[in-house]
Structure formats: C-alpha cells, structure tokens
Amino acid sequence: MKFLAHLQKDLKDEPISIYDVIRGFNGKNPEFWEKRTYYSLIDGIPMKAVVNTIKKKPHFAVKKGYGGNDNSGGGESIEHQLAKKVIYDNKFLKIKIGSIRDTIFFSKIIIEQPIKKKNSKNEKERIGRRADLYVQIANRNSFDFLVSKGLIIEIYKSNKVSLVKRNFYRKFDIPSIEIKINKEIKFNGNVGKLYKELKECLSNEINATNLHDPFWEKHQKERKEKQLKLQKEIEKKKQEQKEIEIKELDKKKRKEIEKKQFEKVYKEKEIIEQTIKKKNKFVKFIDKFLNYKM
C-alpha cells in the first residue's frame, strides 16, 4: 500500500501523506481532496486517495486504466517509502560493509524496479520480484561495485530481507546490499519533518550488508592476500626493529668497552706519570744529597 504521493506530476514535488489527505477530507473543502488526482512517488502514475476503507488502512491506489500494481510495496511503512525518495534525491550513500567504508554515487536510480535478466535471445525479461532501489554506480569504490553497472539496494527498519529474496539474488547472480534506517525515526504526521530526519540519517555513514556479492570468492582471496601481506610487513618491521635494537645494543657495548679501555689506558698513564714523578723526586734527592756531601 502507498502512503505517500505527489500533488503534481513532478518527482521533485514535495510529497504528502495519506494522513494529510484525511485532514483535507475533514476540512473546509473535502471535495477538492476527494476528486483530485494524486501522482505516484515513484513514476508519476495517476492515483486516487482511498480513505473510506474498513479492511485496509487509508492509502493511495493507482487509478483505473493506468495499470501499475497497487500492492507494490505492500506492508511497507511510510518511513520505508520515504527513505527511497531521500536516497533518490541524494544520489549517494556513505556505507560501511565489514571493515570497508566508502561513499558510492549513483548515476541512475529507479524506485521499485522490477528485476529483469537477459534471456537466451539476449532480450531483457522480467524474472519476478521488485527491488526497493535499482542504482547504477557512478564512481570507483572500495567495494568493487562496477562503474556503470547495476546494484540492488534493499531498505529495512525492523525486518531484514527474507531468506527467500536473498536466495533469489544469489540464484540470478544479482549484486545486492541491504541498509538499515534508524528505528527511532517515526512518522508523527509531519512528512517534512520525517523527510529531514531520514535525510540526516541517510546522509551520514550507515552499516550495510551484502545480500549477494558476485565477486565474493575473488574478494575473499584478495582479503586473505592482503592480510598475509600485512602480516609479512609486520613481521618484517619487527625483524628490522630487532636488528636496530641489536645494533644499538652492540653500539652501547662497544662504547662501554671503549670507555673501559680508555679508563684503563688513562689509569696506566697516571701510574706511569706518578712513577716518573717519584723517580724524578728520588733523583733530585740523590743529587742534593751528593752535592751536600761534597
């Protein structure tokens, strides 16, 4: 069910919620809100407001004759739906997968894209399921998401992507990630306020998880090689440090030996000088004594 829509057929138009429409129904000009056409948040398809309903929550539904799928996004919260619009407007995400972090920019974004793959005739055909966001990567990045290639982004607030959907992406080898929006962000009747809160959340770094990485084996191998290289570098630095310490120790020992040798030589010199002094003194005494006798 859809809880958000545009008043104008313009994807840049500020979205309104079904609850804004309900307030309009209860206001001074209910006919204006009841008869007017609303437009899909995703692709501008004409919609109507379904308010007087018992079995379902109030929502926007695709107008008769315009096709579409009214159940697309069934069960999604208003926060979930508006998060797609925020990412569509931002055109980037700052994400962290494991220990890797980077900013990825998008050259193209499609909200609720039906998933298609090429068949044997090299023609694209729908293979079922609908993704929250289909994006094309615009920049080289640390995650090895290929530039100009597609990536599926799934969003969740409370419930993660189902195992069935995850296996679907693996089966058809579709690069895909999921991101989580803050649980504390809740709609309080003001779409503008909710948009600002989601924009702040999704403009900062958020954790992401790989649903399917087609290059997983390659990345695992590269990570192991990187870890091994890092380990070798650490061991090399340890060895170099050890050698420096040994050299410093040897240098210190050499200095101590040289100091001892100097002290020994100096001591010996002192002894010799003292001996010479004594001898000179004795010679002087003898000379004096002999002179006296004469």
In a domain, 146, yes or no: yes
Pair 82, 148 in one domain: yes
Pair 205, 152 in one domain: yes
For residue 142, give the nearest of 102, 174, 179, 190 by alpha carbon. Answer: 102
Each residue's pLDDT tens digit, 11-41: 778 888 888 888 888 888 877 887 788 888 7
Going from the C-alpha of 29 to that of each of 57, 100, 196, 198, the distances in angstroms are: 22, 54, 29, 31
* Buried b / exposed e along 50-86 (16+ C-beta atoms within 10 A): bbeeeeeebbbbbeeeeebeeebbeebbbbbbbbbbb
Pair 103, 159 in one domain: yes
pLDDT of residue 175: 92
Pair 87, 147 in one domain: yes
Pair 133, 239 in one domain: no
In a domain, 14, yes or no: yes
pLDDT of residue 1: 60
pLDDT of residue 71: 41
Measure the CA–CA gap between 31 and 290, rounded to whole angstroms: 149
| Most confident stretch, 58-62, 63-67, 190-194, 268-272 | 190-194
In a domain, 223, yes or no: no
Pair 209, 238 in one domain: no
* Residue span of the structural domain in which 128 resides: 78-214
Pair 183, 273 in one domain: no
For residues 115 and 129, is the Cβ–Cβ distance under 8 A? yes
- Global pTM? 0.59
Total domains in the fold of the chain: 3
Mean pLDDT value across the chain:
82
pLDDT of residue 66: 61
Each residue's pLDDT tens digit, 203-213: 999 999 999 98
Pair 56, 125 in one domain: no
In a domain, 275, yes or no: yes
In a domain, 68, yes or no: no
Each residue's pLDDT tens digit, 40-75: 877 778 888 887 766 677 888 888 766 544 444 445
Each residue's pLDDT tens digit, 127-180: 556 788 999 999 999 888 889 889 999 998 877 887 778 888 888 889 999 999
pLDDT of residue 69: 45
Instruction: Name residue 156's beta-bridge partners.
Output: 180
123, pLDDT greater than 60: no
Pair 113, 25 in one domain: no
In a domain, 70, yes or no: no
Pair 245, 189 in one domain: no
Pair 85, 202 in one domain: yes
For residues 133 and 152, is the Cβ–Cβ distance under 8 A? yes
In a domain, 106, yes or no: yes
4, pLDDT greater than 90: no
pLDDT of residue 7: 86
pLDDT of residue 59: 84
pLDDT of residue 105: 96
Pair 20, 90 in one domain: no
In a domain, 221, yes or no: no
Q: Which of 33, 62, 91 is the last residue of a domain?
A: 62
pLDDT of residue 67: 53
